[in-house]
Amino acid sequence: MAAALALINRGHDVDVYEQAPELKEFGAGVQISPNGTRALHVLGVLETLRQLSCDTEGKEVRLWNTGRTWKLFDLGAEAIERYGFPYVTVFRPDLLQVLVDAVRARKPDAIHLGWRAAGVTQRKDRVILESESGKTVEGDALIGADGVHSVIRHKLFGGDRPRFFGMIAWRGVIPMKRVPQHISRDKATNWIGVGGHVVHYPLRAGKLMNFVGIQERDNWQVESWTTQGTAQECAADHTGWHADVQALIAASPSLFKWALMGREPLPRWTVGNVTLLGDACHPTLPMLAQGAVMAIEDAVILGRCFDKYADVVTALSRYQDARIAVASRRVVGANENAARFHNPALRNEEGATTYVDREWSREAIIRRYEWIFTYDVNAVDI
Ligand SMILES: Cc1cc2nc3c(=O)[nH]c(=O)nc-3n(C[C@H](O)[C@H](O)[C@H](O)COP(=O)(O)OP(=O)(O)OC[C@H]3O[C@@H](n4cnc5c(N)ncnc54)[C@H](O)[C@@H]3O)c2cc1C
């Protein structure tokens, strides 16, 4: 949707073909770091989104069993001062709605629902997209932004072998009035432990709390936004974790589970007049909170390439070249954070203190995040 908006904003005629019969996002949270809010600003939707999001005050790290707390970094005012843009936490349906509204305001009939792409045929200057039910549409270019199980990626580059990371993500959204008062309501909290970590942060101007619990487990391998589990199963995966974590699990009206799969970074995303965008080309573990942000950045850079290069094949190839190295580096960064967040050194408080002081020192944080947060979609060479 961000890609559609980036192109429509620049005067291109775009149609979006979405398999879902209705535009209903999965109810979960997404963190958007300053490089992502900078890209949303370029798309013209940041101000609207901020009315629905939260400028969390800061980020903290807590130890899985004792609850000992370390400050990680300031997000609110400090992020704006340092990067020019805020670090926000957003309810996914709100993010989608803001993008959809902006697309429809510019082209009311741009979005075609219940349209599942199944095939692609490339001709010299045209590309034909076929639906599962045999309908076809054609255009000058095709952007496959169809997520981690991308059909378009499969058509361009063949099947891949997702690697199961041996981790399951539990996700829940909790009405804030059900969250015990003493659990931080204005900070993003990252609990770290031996075989897992837990993240929670406020959404929708503080009315909701997002909960994500990632635990190492090898008996669940379904990548799905919609598979539900029970609070008992989730609590069992968090045995020994602090009472605050248990309280959040108990307060979650429903909990969904998702197996974390990884794929090797692709060496290329573009073939002629077809390219990929977002999870379709650079799926990532969520440990750097950059998957959705990268899709939004891709969108802006794609729009800039269409502006600069009249020839579609050149525009798509320049888009790929501008983005592929930075996206691959972030995927690697997320993998490294997985090992960092789940570490044997965290077994007890003594080991944890030395470990956290080293891994979350100011210098280490700047080394890991500064190059990401300062990334400017408008300044990148294309
Ligand atoms: C636990 C967890 C936490 C996360 N936290 C963050 C975070 O804090 N910050 C962040 O930036 N990212 C986060 N992410 C990553 C983020 O959710 C993804 O990177 C992002 O959703 C990718 O967007 P996308 O548009 O590429 O793909 P998707 O969001 O998967 O969208 C793909 C769309 O294509 C449609 N589609 C699929 N196949 C077809 C087809 N054949 N025909 C037509 N339509 C089709 C789908 O219905 C869907 O609407 C997290 C992910 C997980 C699992």
pLDDT per residue as tens digits for the range 3-13: 999 999 999 99
Q: Ramachandran region of residue 207, left (φ > 0), alpha (ψ -120 to 50) or beta?
A: alpha
pLDDT at 330 over 90: yes
CA pair distance 41, 37, nearest whole angstrom = 6
- Ligand 1 pocket check for 286: Cβ under 6 Å: yes
- Ligand 1 pocket check for 145: Cβ under 6 Å: yes
DSSP string, 214-239: EEE-SS-----SS-EE-HHHHHHHTT
How many angstroms is it from 373 CA to the middle of ligand 1?
A: 21
- Ligand 1 pocket check for 274: Cβ under 6 Å: no
Question: How many angstroms separate the Cα of 304 from the Cα of each of 60, 278, 282, 341?
Answer: 36, 16, 20, 36
How many angstroms is it from 89 CA to the middle of ligand 1?
A: 16
CA pair distance 155, 120, nearest whole angstrom = 7
State pLDDT tens for residues 358-381. 998 888 888 899 999 999 999 999
- Ligand 1 pocket check for 298: Cβ under 6 Å: no
Q: What is the mean pLDDT of residues 313-317?
A: 98
Nearest CA to ligand 1 atom 23: 292
Q: What is the mean pLDDT of residues 11-25?
A: 94
pLDDT at 166 over 90: no
- Six-digit token string for 23: 């535009």
Nearest CA to ligand 1 atom 34: 146
Determine the Cα angle at 367 with ends 363 and 368, to 5°: 120
How many angstroms is it from 145 CA to the middle of ligand 1?
A: 9
pLDDT band at 74 (very low <50, low <70, confident <90, very high): low
- Ligand 1 pocket check for 262: Cβ under 6 Å: no
CA pair distance 209, 201, nearest whole angstrom = 6
Q: Tell which wins on pLDDT, 218 or 319.
A: 319
